[in-house]
Amino acid sequence: MSGLAWQLGTVVAITPETPRAKTFTLRLPHWQQHRAGQHYTLRLTAPDGYQAQRSYSIASPPEQTGEVAFTVELIDEGEVSGYLFEGVQLGDQLEVRGPIGGYFAWDATPQAGPLLLVAGGSGIVPLMCMLRHRQRSGLRNPTVLLYSSRTPEEVIYQQELTAMAQADPSFSLQQTFTRQLPAGWAGYQRRLDEAMLGEVLGLLPAAPQCFICGPTGLVESAASTLAGPLGLPASAIHTERFGPSGT
């Protein structure tokens, strides 16, 4: 990982996902195949030499060769997300280094067993990479995504996730909303809790590999509930926390 060189990617697509999330697709001169769940470090340099670095999970599957996509949520007063939202246009260059990380990673191998994915907010990004990778590989291992959002408007990749679930009975999409519900919503309408996690776990035929990503509080409570009362072995639970990052 320390051996990875910085490279200048060119922005070839900017896709609005929600009012506060955009996907930036970069074409890389030295593309390297990643594992689903890994991330890149992005570095911004000001004309006066000031630099800021932040981590961004890879949204695009490893099958999408030559480019990587990052989905970035706009953070109030955010230094890097704010610049990406307001300052970056098609054709611009961004400096990145990656892929990084080996622990929060999943490979679509034929032996892959059941999968439980738990996301909060932009924590969906690395899990979406796993789902896209799984889909491209034609894998049908039993998979559940439990995705918590505050409002319907804030759900990233809603259409793609819905289509994926409709096309593939081995994939179950479970959503919960904590502040505002979609019209006619009959599903979960609260924060993740033991009952909810127990129910989604029950949709799987056997104990799954589990990937949890989102704000620190959600990740902590989901992981400790799954490992504690719900009895999953700690070694089967992988977590990634998206807190504000220092430099």
Where along the sequence are the contacts to ligand FAD (CB under 6 A)?
39, 54-57, 71-73, 75-82, 122, 125, 240, 242, 244-245
Q: Which is nearer to other proteins, 78 or 182 (CB)?
A: 78
Distance of CA 158 to the CA centre of its chain: 13
Report whether 23 contacts 60 (CB < 8 A). Answer: no
With residue 217 as reference, give the H or E element that holds it: helix 216-227
Taking the complex as a whole, how short is the minimal distance between the CB of residue 239 and ligand FAD, in angstroms? 11
Q: Which of ligand FAD, other proteins, none does residue 137 bind to, with CB < 5 to 8 Å depending on kind?
A: none
Taking the complex as a whole, how short is the minimal distance between the CB of residue 57 and other proteins, in angstroms? 21
With residue 62 as reference, give the H or E element that holds it: none
Cα angle 116, 120, 123; round to 5:
85
The Cα–Cα gap between 155 and 18 comes to 7
Q: Which is nearer to ligand FAD, 74 or 230 (CB)?
A: 74
Taking the complex as a whole, how short is the minimal distance between the CB of residue 39 and ligand FAD, in angstroms? 4
Positions in the binding site for other proteins (CB under 8 A): 6, 8, 44-50, 52, 77-79, 82-83, 87, 92-95, 246-247
Q: Which is nearer to ligand FAD, 52 or 207 (CB)?
A: 52
With residue 128 as reference, give the H or E element that holds it: helix 124-136
Burial classification of residue 104, based on how many CB atoms lie within 10 Å of its CB (0-12 exposed, 13-18 middle, 19 or more buried): buried
Q: Which of ligand FAD, other proteins, none does residue 71 bind to, with CB < 5 to 8 Å depending on kind?
A: ligand FAD
Q: Which of ligand FAD, other proteins, none does residue 45 bind to, with CB < 5 to 8 Å depending on kind?
A: other proteins
Taking the complex as a whole, how short is the minimal distance between the CB of residue 165 and other proteins, in angstroms? 38
Q: Which is nearer to ligand FAD, 31 or 83 (CB)?
A: 83
> Closest Cα to residue 211, out of 240, 234, 171?
240
